[in-house]
Structure 1
Amino acid sequence: MKIMVAIKRVIDYAVKIRVKSNKSGVETINVKMSMNPFCEIALEEALRIKESGRASEVVAVSMGPAQCADTLRTGLAMGADRAIHVDTQAAPLYPLSVAKILKALVEAEKPGLLILGKQAIDDDCNQTGQMVAGLLNWPQGTFASKVVLDKEKQQVTVDREVDGGLETLCLELPAVITTDLRLNQPRYATLPNIMKAKSKVIKKVTPQELNVELKSDLEIVEVNEPPKRKAGVILSSVDELIDKLKNEAHVI
């Protein structure tokens, strides 16, 4: 069985975000970029399934400008067998467009399992996995905190985190899974694997070759930084705290 993993290039989680002066977005020029942490978890889970003998190949896919190849090289260094880069140049990518591209890639590659991070840390949309499952008419297990694949029964059992605790789903393959933070701890790419990844070929395709039209169904009106937090105050007694909570904060 083949597993396809979607990975996204985002601003590194440790970088302090700066809003552009025209408020059209955030600065990405000369900013450190890396693989989306949720995508790292998705790739790690696919690699573990393969190492257990329940999958034969892991294919990493990414879409965006030419620099996405660097993120795919990281995926190859972690252990992915192949990589596919959908070169969208500078065209903006929104969840529905990404879902349509993934649908076209799935139809071409025919994987038994598609794994994605539940969301990207740049836009926090949490939509792509659900959308591509709907387009493919595949069962979906979102927010997965545990994944158990039964190759013989062609089923996958997913424990997912919900407000009331854990929900267990049994999905018929092929299926879509989106990963949560507590699913696993991604591995570090070793130096030998990083060197090997540099020589691996990354297949490049365009949305036009996949018969996917990229169009924006969203409009960004303005991007602003969150308001500055007010400085805290030191109170001398519990009575003073209760008074402020009641008369100033109005929470009691």
Structure 2
Amino acid sequence: MKSYLKLVNFEFNRSVKIFVVLLGITLVAQIAGVIVLSKKYLGIANEKIYEELMSKAEFLSQFGQMSFLHIIRSTWFLGPIALCVAAVAFYIFLIWYRDWFGKNTFIYRLLMLPTTRLNVFFAKITNILLMTFGFVAFQLILIPIESTILKWMVPSGFRMDMSVENITTSLPQLNIIVPNNILEFILYYGAGFMVVSILFTAILFERSFRWKGIFAGILYCLVAVAVFISPLLLDEFVLNGFLYPMELFVLEIVMGLIIITGSLWMSGFLLKKKITV
């Protein structure tokens, strides 16, 4: 356990600069978005009410109140989130390949540490999860701050206040990142863990067998997808909708656990038997 924690700490220290930069971009872009969009709305309100002499009621009837929905549906808000998601997706590959293609092929030093090689796998996947949870937690901290800035800038009669829960449930993409309950949290992030474990295994196939490993990795991904959706295909084309939705749900969870277990076993096998130092 101590070796595993040391590896996790080591991996996190290697990624902390990227992590902090992405948090900074998110902070600046989203707060700037709140300010810019609020000023834009107030500019329209001033033009219509004071220059065109439109009544406040008529303006609100035509343009509506300013709410945080205007913020979260903008590029100012969604752009940094998309950037963080893309960065994590890219880092899934970088976290392995930088060890092989660095100046001193650092992966060999990692694999020669006096600990089970699977701990290297667990440390890297844990770091991906830590980065993801860090981004989500930071976003949850930012939303109340941004809501407060919106309240400071837009008068109460021209805005519609929203709670954090209403904000996170109003956008499907945000609802996936910030689930409503513990069950959704387990499902969404469990699915993410499964995808990352599959990709890690595919990367290890490539590292173990080079060009042949590319095809083996792609084949493994396809097999994993086929196993995961097999209950849906079986119910649709063989059983003709015989299974209840809850039964399908349970079967999908079972298939996901089988895939995760298989990925862990295969990754351990490749690290111990096929990757030599």
Q: TM-score range by the shorter chain?
A: under 0.3
The answer to which structure has the higher strand fraction is 1
The answer to which structure has the higher helix fraction is 2
TM-score, normalised relative to structure 2: 0.20
TM-score, normalised relative to structure 1: 0.21
